[in-house]
Chain A
Amino acid sequence: MNNWTKLAAAIAAVALVAGCGSGGGAGDSGTGAVKASNDLVIGRTVAVDGMSGDSCYGAGSISTMPMIYGNLLTNKPDGSGVQAGIAASYDYDASARTYTFHLREDAGFSNGSPVTAADVAFSFEQWRDGKTSGAYYDMIKSAEATDGHTVVVRLTRPDTFLPALLTWCTSTVYPDRYAGKTPEEFFAEPIGAGPFAFVSWQNPGPSETITLKKNPHYYGAPNGEPHVDTVITKTSADAAQQMLAFQGGQLDLIEQLTADEGNQLAPEQVRIPQPSQARDLMLNSKRPALADLALRKAISAAIDRQALASVQQGYAVPAEGILPTNVPNSVPPTKPYTYDLAAAKALMAERADTKPVTLAIGFDGSSSTVSTMVQLLRDQLAKIGVEVTLKPTDSATVYSMGSSGDFDMLISDPSAISPTVFDPISFVLTAWYPWTGADTKLMKEKFTTGTSTTEDAVKDAAVRAIQDDAQEQSTVIGLVNMSTAFAVAGYVEGFTATPFLSYDAAAIRIRTGR
């Protein structure tokens, strides 16, 4: 018994030391100047929506799809417009309603076959016929390969939206007839013309790992692109834990960094693009109290947007209108929002009905920045006698509350994923305006005007009219514009964050000390 006891004591001591030795000890951030391997390990919180472009919707796919498939056109890193991708150039003929795309001759799929016009024509058909995202491509009548590297796309109506659309994660270039495979087989092991080739997709879902390796047939290969050998993307719902992994040198890059997380890092580890994600408040004008324009305007005037933005110091700016800023053709309304408590109180006094107001606000409770913002809104609106009750829920329920009209107020983010402000406008027009009971006439008209012209001045005027109209109706109210930032380790070079959630992974280098 005595020997046993001694052994037991020894084991217990080890176990307890292991269990209790967790105190303090803040080590170095661990991001040294060089990395041993030429692998890029990315952390993100949002899983991909699948491997097909058609299913692409969320931030995970927006970043991964272009790495695998490549796009005909890509975003300029500064977000000012589109640039060449697999298509070296394109012509738009407004009168003939055709686009002609001239493809590069050196682009190749990861299986070694070159990218031809037939592949691109096939891809156009897949996009248009897609069951989830096909509606975006309904301006496409036909796509035809006129020679080995020229594709002519005929349109059903004048359209200047297509080039931006081609940068989207839904515009994924496939080999003709899926290289002889069924769609199921193909998307289980996709073949693309992007900088990286698909290797594996483990534990698909919220904690998935996607592994890609260098595509030797990528059109940038002669310039040494992509520079890294392997890209490993690790998804985890827990942003705080990813922060620790980054600080411990186990991640090289974090996508969609929020202010809360970024402020825990050294400034040189954080890349903050221009704020281009709007966050808006919807007011349901079909509700009796909110049917009164005076109340809606009072709410807008009582919101201290500066304070809302200050909680995300450096990552958010106060909104001037309902649309995201720093997107081509995004112009502010004639009179940007101002915080005016006196005016808000005066508007409250003008209300036809003087009963006290209690409004529920629905929002995605899983987002810490939204939760924080909503608590501030509650405090701000209390100052004009509007009592706000919080209804945290998940994003799916927010949308079903919106579409069924079962809400007083909702928080949501219309973000641009391509360099045109008509991207978020299409979203507001088809979803939010009908949900909030807004009058869609002007927006519909200006949207058509804006997407059928090539003149910037005409587009700008249309957008300004939309912003002014939104302010006049006040069923959708802008709160802040936010940046979607990145955390980047010190040994990562050549990374440029675009405002559209995506970035050029081919340009990234890792300093390996070799």
Chain B
Amino acid sequence: MALAPAQVLGRRRVRRDPGATGTAALVTGAVLLALLLAASFVSGALTGHDPALTDLTARFRPPSPQHWFGTDQLGRDVFARVLVAAGTDLPLALLGAAVPAVIGIVLGALAGYARGWIGTAVMRLADLIQAFPSYILLIVLVFLLGPGAGSFLVGAAVGAWVTYARLVRGVVLRLRELDYVRAAQAAGLGHTRVLLRHVLPNALPQAVVYAASDIVLALSYLAALSYLGLGIQAPGIEWGQMIADGQPFLRNQWWVSVMPGLAIILVGVAVRLIAGGLERRLQR
């Protein structure tokens, strides 16, 4: 995640009332995600089908009022599975973006303040990490740690913290030369308080925007890993894995693999709305 799409995506300048459109987009995106997440917890009740229940007499039913998204090769309801998979994909995508953000902010602040060997070490580590295309780093780490959600999170965290660290370090380096920060330090304010009062508020807006778009990237990486059999494994239910499972049936039973793909796109659009909205609000 060397370059978060939102870093360059949607750098918008709106002439009139940027806050209002920003808020509308933000709310729409957030509501979409929240609804999807909520639905994942009650998918059984909502769809009337147990997402894990196999029914060999009901294999490959096409979409119908009874099975909105049809059934798969084991007669499981695809709609129920798409919803319950949101409960796997969304939290993992959110964590996959949030964990590296936190790590990066802490390490970046550390590198900015402790300019000695610690700072150098952190930045050399960042160089090291950036020598890998992020997805390749992820695959190698999953290879080492074995497939699963934990490996994915570790891989995402290892790859994506660098952007945040560089951002925060830059802010720290700029701020520590400013008069009021020097004054604050001279007045006896500790590093931590300077960090909390002055550095974070300056770095946070951009970091949040990065993180929002990293959610999309994390989701697409998670789905791609699971699609290749290196991510979430059955009986866990995940969109990429569902697409892979349904791929042999693409021609005659397209719904098995197309529906989870549409779910991923929906999340992408929702997160994009949130990122765009946030950016507009922050630029106000």
Contact = CB atoms under 8 A, between A and B. Distances in A.
A261 B248 contact: yes
B248 A368 contact: yes
B74 A375 contact: yes
A243 B74 contact: no
B251 A378 contact: no
Given A307-B56, A311-B56, A375-B54, A26 B251 contact: yes
Given A307-B56, A365-B229, A375 B234 contact: yes
Contacts of A244: 250-251
Interface in A388-418: 390, 392
B252 interface: yes
How many of chain A's residues touch chain B, expressed as a range?
20 to 34
Given A260-B73, A390-B233, A392-B234, A368 B251 contact: no
A390 B236 CA distance: 10
A45 to B, nearest CB: 12
B62 interface: no
A199 interface: no
A366 B227 CA distance: 11
Contacts of B252: 263-264
A240 interface: yes
B275 to A, nearest CB: 22
A501 to B, nearest CB: 20
A376 B233 contact: no
B248 A376 contact: no
Q: Which of B235, B249, B252 has the most CB of A within 10 A?
A: B235
Nearest to A241: B247
Contacts of A264: 248-249, 251-252
Nearest to A380: B54
- Give the contact-size bracket for chain B: 10 to 19
A378 B235 contact: yes
A244 B249 CA distance: 10
Indicate the member of B74, B229, B248 with the most A CB atoms within 10 Å: B248
B74 A372 contact: yes
A287 to B, nearest CB: 22
B142 to A, nearest CB: 13
Contact of A368 (B56, B233, B245, B250): B245
Contacts of A366: 229
A382 B248 CA distance: 29
Interface string A256-290: 00101101100000000000000000000000000
Nearest to B233: A392
Contacts of B44: none
B233 A311 contact: no
B19 interface: no
Contacts of A372: 73-74
Contacts of A26: 251
Interface string B61-75: 000000000000110
A60 B73 CA distance: 28
B234 A390 contact: yes
B119 interface: no
Interface string A239-253: 110011001000000
A376 B74 contact: yes
Given A307-B56, A365-B229, A260 B74 contact: no
A390 B235 contact: yes
A392 B147 contact: yes
A379 interface: yes
A310 interface: yes
B235 A240 contact: no
A80 interface: no
A371 B246 CA distance: 13
A365 B225 CA distance: 14
Interface string A190-220: 0000000000000000000000000000000
B54 A379 contact: yes
Contacts of B247: 240
A368 to B, nearest CB: 7
Interface in A152-193: none
A243 B16 CA distance: 54
Contact of B235 (A239, A247, A261, A375): A375
Contacts of A311: 56, 73-74
B183 to A, nearest CB: 50
B166 to A, nearest CB: 33
B258 to A, nearest CB: 11
A365 B235 CA distance: 11
Given A260-B73, A375-B74, A243 B234 contact: no
A235 to B, nearest CB: 17
> Which residue among A240, A247, A307 has the maximum number of chain B CB atoms within 10 Å of its CB?
A240
Contacts of B147: 365, 392
B245 A310 contact: no
16 contacts: A240-B250, A243-B248, A243-B251, A244-B251, A264-B248, A264-B249, A264-B251, A264-B252, A365-B233, A366-B229, A371-B234, A371-B245, A376-B54, A376-B74, A390-B235, A392-B147
Given A311-B74, A378-B235, 5 more contacts: A240-B248, A244-B251, A372-B73, A375-B74, A392-B147
Q: List 7 tightest A-B contacts by C-beta distance, closest first.
A: A240-B247, A260-B248, A392-B233, A240-B248, A366-B229, A264-B252, A261-B248
